[in-house]
Structure 1
Amino acid sequence: MSGARFGSLLEGLPASPQPDELFTTLAALPGSRIERIVSTGQSSPDGFWYDQDWDEFVLLVAGAATLQVEGEGDRLLSPGDWALLPARTRHRVAATAAGGPTVWLAIHAGEPGSGTGAE
């Protein structure tokens, strides 16, 4: 058996808004973590900025979101849009669509404590 895994980023989405975003780790590889994030109208708290020690690549799969990058302003993201956020790039989610799930694929590269194998 090869150990291959398959799935759908659009499977099992919530039918109604949730109190919090849903984070699902799809794979934890040496130095990297791949996750699905499902937002249902959430945004980063006022004044909060992500400021990570690792690179992050995000792809908006479904829905819509406004991403703020410090010093670069707002960027409206639609399905298929992606961003590469190098380590120490301060960013936040200003808004996500409230009318249905917003689905992100996030790849964290060089993250301390990332897994050592597939989960």
Structure 2
Amino acid sequence: MRGARFGRLSAGIPDLPQHDERFDTLIAAEGVRVERIVSTGQASPPGFWYDQGWDEFVLVTSGAAGLEIEGEPVRRLDPGDWAHIPAHVRHRVAWTDREAATIWLAVHLPPGPEAP
């Protein structure tokens, strides 16, 4: 029997050491995955760029982060700020808050149509 599921993004977050980052899949269906990411001061390694074969929508719900799209300045994301990153748009996490956990809600989707 299928039933509704409920949760809280901030629930169950342990005190993480600065070097650990946590990824929790909240729900997955064909072609779509929703995950919670908890960052504690992490950043992408120097020179590393994500180049994913899927679209990604990210929303920062607590903490803060710097998101860099290749060729653009780093953009600060605070709680409530979101970004849609189309497939194969190179990007990296420049920094995340070192004082408080940064909680991201990430939705991974099949690539959408090309932007006009």
Structure 2 length normalisation: TM-score? 0.90
Runs of 5+ unmatched residues, structure 1: 112-119
Deviation of 1:61 after TM superposition, in Å, equals 0.4
Identify the residue that residue 56 of structure 2 maps to in structure 1: 56
Asked if the contact 1:16/1:100 (under 8 Å) is kept, the reply is no
- TM alignment of 1:30-109, pairs within 5 A: 30-109=30-109
Structure 1 length normalisation: TM-score? 0.88
Deviation of 1:17 after TM superposition, in Å, equals 2.9
Asked if the contact 1:14/1:101 (under 8 Å) is kept, the reply is no
Identify the residue that residue 117 of structure 1 maps to in structure 2: none
Counterpart of 1:91, as a letter, is H
Q: Deviations over 1:29-84 (max 9, x none)?
A: 11100000000000101111000010000000000000000012210010000000
Tell me: higher relative CO, structure 1 or 2? Use CA pairs within 8 A at least 6 residues apart: 1
Deviation of 1:16 after TM superposition, in Å, equals 4.2
Counterpart of 2:91, as a letter, is H
Q: What RMSD in Å do the two structures reach over aligned CA positions?
A: 1.3
Give % identity: 61
Identify the residue that residue 10 of structure 1 maps to in structure 2: 10
Aligned to 1:93, what secondary structure does the other structure show? Answer: strand
Asked if the contact 1:39/1:102 (under 8 Å) is kept, the reply is yes
Asked if the contact 1:17/1:100 (under 8 Å) is kept, the reply is no
Residues matched between the structures, number: 111
CA distance in 2: counterparts of 1:67 and 1:14, whole angstroms: 24
CA distance in 2: counterparts of 1:15 and 1:75, whole angstroms: 27
CA distance in 2: counterparts of 1:24 and 1:16, whole angstroms: 14
